[in-house]
Every structure is written in structure tokens, then in C-alpha cells.
Structure 1
Amino acid sequence: MDRSRIALVMPALNEAVTIADVVGAAARHASVVVVDDGSTDATAALARGAGAIVVSHRVNRGYDGALNTGFAEAASRGFEAVITLDADGQHDPSLVARFIAALEGGADVVLGVRDERPRIAEHIFALYTRLRFGISDPLCGLKGYRIALYRAQGHFDSYGSVGTELMLFAARRGARIEQVPFRVGRRTDAPRFGRLLSANLRILRAMILSWRRA
């Protein structure tokens, strides 16, 4: 697979502290698409200066909304695969090489498996997907997909799946899935996903809706 045909899609909300370094490191492996999700700081300008393609939302659309935009941008530009990763530095960009190797080896989907998960709802969702599909960490933001899967489904997310709808669509179709364990980095500020209770509720809602589609 030509590395120039792989897009690294990063949702970013007020990540001015880390975005330039993360984009610079990731761009050594493939083309970077940053979705600036309504940031009020210099995230977009710094990402663009580091060499990323930048698509900006005027207002915040949330994680799934940002990924919807990122996948649409990648598809419109003719990329053959998309790897999603966080802009906050918790995903070491050097891991991208392992994901690309798995895609080049024939995988349809490549999933990161974190060494730790901070929320109880993540463990519950992971138990469901492990028993149902053999997927160990459905909510990890580091994932790789062949763009053909996105085109087959017609969208990335339709119900606020916390980044899991396309993955589960692929699993139900019998796609070849590989998993890559890795150690999560530490962020220096508060997480963007939300407070503990609201985040757990969002995850449980996504799990229930995905189960109904099984």
C-alpha cells in the first residue's frame, strides 16, 4: 500500500500544546488530516504549520462528528486507508508504522489495545465486544480501516457510537481484524471526553445501541 494513500485522521479540540509535535511525528509515516473541532486556541494554525491538511468546524460537533468529517475528507481525496489517532500525545505516532504494516499485510481493520482503560463503562463495553467479536478494546481511538469499509457503510457514525460503529460494521461482515497492544501515554491536562459520570453514560448508551444493531 502506497504510504501517500493512507490518511492519519486526528480529531482535535484545543490541542495547541501538543498538536504540532504529534502532527510532525505522524507525518513521517503518512498524510495527516486534522479536524479542528471548534477550537478556540491556535490548534488549526499550528497543525497546518506542521504540515497537516486541516478541516475546521465552526462549532464543536464532538468526537464522532469530527471523525465523520475526517473520513469524508479522506474519501474525497482518494485515500485508500484511514488510521485514527488522538491529538493529545497519548498515542505514540511511531505506532502508526505497525498499523500500516498490518494493513499492508491484508488486514481490513487494525485496532489498538490499550494497557489500561480509565472508565468502568469501557470495561463493560469491552466485555461485550470480546465475547461477541473477539475485540478487546473497542473504545481505543487508535484504529485503522480500509476506506472500502467506510464506502460500504456510507458513513463513519450515525448514532454517537464513540468511534465504534464502523468497527462493529466490519466485524459483522466478517472483515479481517488485527489487534495491536500498546502502552498509553500521559496527557498533561484534563481529558476532552467529559466528566466521569457523563462519559460512562455516553459509553453505555453507545453499547446498547450497537447491541440493538447486532
Structure 2
Amino acid sequence: MIPALNEAASIAGVVAAACAYGRCIVVDDGSSDGTAEAARAAGALVVSHPANRGYDAALDSGFREADRMDCEVVITLDADGQHTPELLVEFVAKLKAGAAVVLGVRDRKARLAEHVFAWYTRRFGIADPLCGMKAYRIDVYRALGHFDAYRSIGSELALFAARNGYRLASVPVKVRDRVGEPRFGRKLSANLKIFRALALSL
């Protein structure tokens, strides 16, 4: 499942690679550049927001659609080409081995706030809470009832799983250079969003 905002330049390639491993849901979060059309043409099922609602809301819409489709597993990845879809098989293998949530752990983090957030979540066994590549059994989502209710930049469901005794696993993720602006915006605003998410997670 891929949340996307104005990623027309990269989305078709990401979708084509991901579709080789299963059904692909793209949540177009109010894009104005033809992201939805490009994703659909590449083979994705597209859920569209008429206006931008944010990263967490896009993922929540994607989880609801996956639940409606009776998917047993949801794997999230970014639309900007930073993640390697070939790693999906490793995430699935960890789930088959008994993990409820599998977390991508990036080889590099761009922002100070990401390092601080990771320092906090390590106590729960989460080394990289903000990596967009994660895998979940759908029953974890059903147990919480939503993906993210307090705009924690995609970390609430993983923290819920860790705090409630679900088994976690991780997969190293080598980050490739993305196309265009970072998902969370420029450095200062992105750090502020991440620190806010950390405060809400305490």
C-alpha cells in the first residue's frame, strides 16, 4: 500500500515493481499532478482523497480499503522510489515466521528529530519508527481500530503493537535518493512535526 501526494514522476515505476508481489493499493492524497492516473495505469487500485488530508490519513484510508478487501497482510512503502520493492519478500518471510509487525530500519536518517524519536522507541524494540516501509498483519490494525488517530507520522500502530505484546521483527532498508521534495516538508517544519509526534507518543 502506497500513500502518495504529487508523485507522478515516480509512482508508475514504484507501482509496477510492487505489483509483481501482490495487489497494490495507492492512496492519492489530493494530488494535482496526475498521480492517481499514473498509478492506475501502472496497475494499482487507487483510493483518492479530494483534498490533501495528510500522510496518516492516507495510510488510514489504505488500511480500511485493505480490510474491506480481506487482505491478511498490509505492507506500506513510499511513493518516491526510496524503497526497494524487492525487499517485500523479506518482509513477508518475517510475517510467515510469526511476526505481527515488521519494521524497516533505514541505513540513514535525514533529520535530528528522527534520531531522537528512534532513541525513545528503542525501549519498545522499534529502532526506526519513521521508516515508511513496514508490514502488518491486518489483525493488528483491527485490534486498534485505526492506523493513526493523533498524527504521529505513521508510528501509532507499530507502538500499539509493541506495547501490547505483539511480536516485532525488522528488515534493513537501504534508502535510495528520492525524486522531489521530502514527504514531511523542509528541514525545520519536518523536525517540528516529528517532535510533536514524539510528544503525543509519550
Shift of 1:189: 1.8
1:124 corresponds to 2:153: no
Counterpart of 1:109?
101
1:146 aligned partner, one-letter code: R
Counterpart of 1:157?
148
Which residue among 109, 125, 129 is the counterpart of 1:138? 129
Q: Secondary structure at the match of 1:47?
A: helix
Q: Deviations over 1:135-183 (max 9, x none)?
A: 1101100000000011000100100010000000000111110011121
* Structure 2, gaps ≥5 residues long: none
Shift of 1:15: 0.8
Counterpart of 1:6?
none
2:187 aligned partner, one-letter code: L
Which residue among 48, 60, 85 is the counterpart of 2:40? 48
Counterpart of 2:58?
66
Shift of 1:187: 1.2
- Whole-Å Cα distance in 1 between the matches of residues 179 and 143 of structure 2? 38
Q: What TM-score do you get using the length of structure 1 for normalisation?
A: 0.93
Counterpart of 2:188?
197
Q: Deviations over 1:56-115 (max 9, x none)?
A: 000001100100100011011111110010011000111111111111111100000000
Shift of 1:196: 1.0
1:176 corresponds to 2:167: yes
- Whole-Å Cα distance in 1 between the matches of residues 125 and 45 of structure 2? 34
Counterpart of 2:81?
89
Q: What TM-score do you get using the length of structure 2 for normalisation?
A: 0.98
2:8–2:34 Cα contact (<8 Å) kept:
yes
Q: Secondary structure at the match of 1:31?
A: coil
Query: Aligned-residue CA RMSD in angstroms?
Result: 0.8
2:200 aligned partner, one-letter code: L
- Whole-Å Cα distance in 1 between the matches of residues 189 and 11 of structure 2? 26
2:33 aligned partner, one-letter code: D
1:208 corresponds to 2:193: no
- Whole-Å Cα distance in 1 between the matches of residues 65 and 179 of structure 2? 30
Shift of 1:188: 2.9
Give the number of equivalent residue pairs: 202
Percent of paired sites with the same residue: 62
